[in-house]
């Protein structure tokens, strides 16, 4: 722990919270007769895919980067789960041609919506892969946090520009837009959690105190679903379910 940088520690704390949410999600959709089928859209080098495979899921990872998929294959092999991880080079707009519709218990779209040219068609393609009763996990940046970060950094003019752009800059899909897309696609929103509520606000030196990192992780977990704290998180995790029948 002493050799970890502040960024590494806060990032691992956020990752741990998302992983806890995903573990619960897998448990809620995993069929008893077979391993859970998971699709990770833009999953890259496997930061979630490999742990999910270690937990017993069969994971298909879609990514446009050959290098990222090569890293994924190497990590899966080193972890002994290569047979449960399927790399697939593809962009999300072409998912319908690459994977069967409605065939996955859990679909991850973590950070991918910010990287596509056309958000709504990409979201529809991703959501179409969720089976009835299955879950869609979306992790998206929170533009509200950007305003706060600019102001705290002393760039008040930039904070003002970002504030005035809220709700008008549709090139960056925020939590409200994602929830609207979920509802339009017939998905029922079950959970919304803020990820990284305090991590960027805590002074780096404060995390060197004994037990400070653990306390920060607990603070993040408890604030993740409590407004107004979750509303200023750097990212927002949305879990939505496709109804049965």
pLDDT of residue 156: 92
Residue 86 has pLDDT above 70, yes or no: yes
**Percent helix, strand and coil across the chain, each rounded to 5?**
45, 20, 30
Distant-in-sequence contacts of 222-230, Cβ < 8 A, 24+ apart: 223/194, 223/197, 223/198, 224/17, 224/193, 224/194, 224/195, 224/197, 225/191, 225/192, 225/193, 225/194, 229/194, 229/197, 229/198, 230/192, 230/193, 230/194, 230/197
* Torsion, Cα of 11, 14, 20, 22 (10° steps): -90
**Least confident range of 85-99, 163-177, 186-200:** 163-177
Q: Is the pLDDT of residue 63 over 60?
A: yes
Mean pLDDT of the chain: 87
Mean pLDDT of 107-126: 93
CB atoms within 10 A of CB 38: 31
pLDDT at 243: 96
CA angle 140, 182, 40 (to 5 degrees): 55
pLDDT for position 108: 97
**Does 191 have pLDDT greater than 90?**
yes
For the full predicted model, state whether its pTM sits above 0.85: yes
pLDDT of residue 198: 83
pLDDT surpassing 60 at residue 18: yes
Res. 12: pLDDT tops 50: yes
User: Has residue 185 got a pLDDT over 80?
Assistant: yes
pLDDT band at 52 (very low <50, low <70, confident <90, very high): very high
pLDDT at 3: 42
Specify the pLDDT at position 166.
78
Give the mean pLDDT of 70-83: 95
Q: What is the mean pLDDT of residues 41-51?
A: 90
pLDDT at 170: 54
Domain 6-141+171-241, architecture per CATH: 3-Layer(aba) Sandwich (3.40)
| 132-178 pLDDT, tens digit each | 999 999 999 998 888 888 888 899 998 898 888 876 555 568 898 99
Per-residue confidence band for 107, with pLDDT thresholds at 50, 70 and 90:
very high
What residue spans define the domains of the chain?
6-141+171-241
Residue 42: is its pLDDT beyond 50? Answer: yes
Q: pLDDT above 90 covers what percent of the chain?
A: 57
């Amino acid at each position: 722990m002493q050799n970890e940088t502040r960024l590494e520690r806060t990032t691992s704390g956020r990752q741990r919270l998302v992983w806890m949410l995903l573990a619960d999600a897998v448990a809620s959709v995993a069929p008893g007769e077979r391993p859970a089928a998971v699709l990770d859209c833009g999953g890259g080098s496997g930061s979630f895919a490999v742990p999910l495979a270690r937990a017993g899921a069969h994971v298909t990872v879609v990514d446009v980067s050959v290098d990222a998929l090569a890293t994924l294959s190497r990590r899966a092999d080193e972890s002994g789960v290569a047979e449960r991880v399927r790399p697939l080079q593809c962009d999300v707009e072409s998912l319908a041609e690459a994977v069967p519709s409605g065939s996955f218990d859990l679909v991850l779209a973590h950070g991918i919506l910010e990287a596509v040219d056309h958000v709504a068609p990409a979201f529809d393609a991703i959501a179409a892969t969720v089976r009835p009763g299955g879950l869609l996990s979306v992790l998206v940046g929170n533009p509200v946090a950007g305003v706060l970060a600019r102001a705290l950094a002393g760039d008040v003019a930039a904070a003002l520009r970002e504030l005035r752009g809220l709700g008008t800059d549709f090139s960056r899909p925020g939590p409200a837009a994602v929830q609207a897309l979920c509802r339009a696609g017939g998905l029922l929103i079950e959970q919304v959690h803020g990820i990284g509520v305090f991590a960027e606000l805590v002074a780096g030196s404060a995390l060197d105190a004994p037990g400070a990192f653990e306390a920060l992780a607990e603070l993040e977990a408890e604030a993740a679903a409590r407004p107004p704290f979750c509303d200023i998180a750097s990212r927002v995790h949305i879990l939505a379910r496709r109804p049965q029948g």
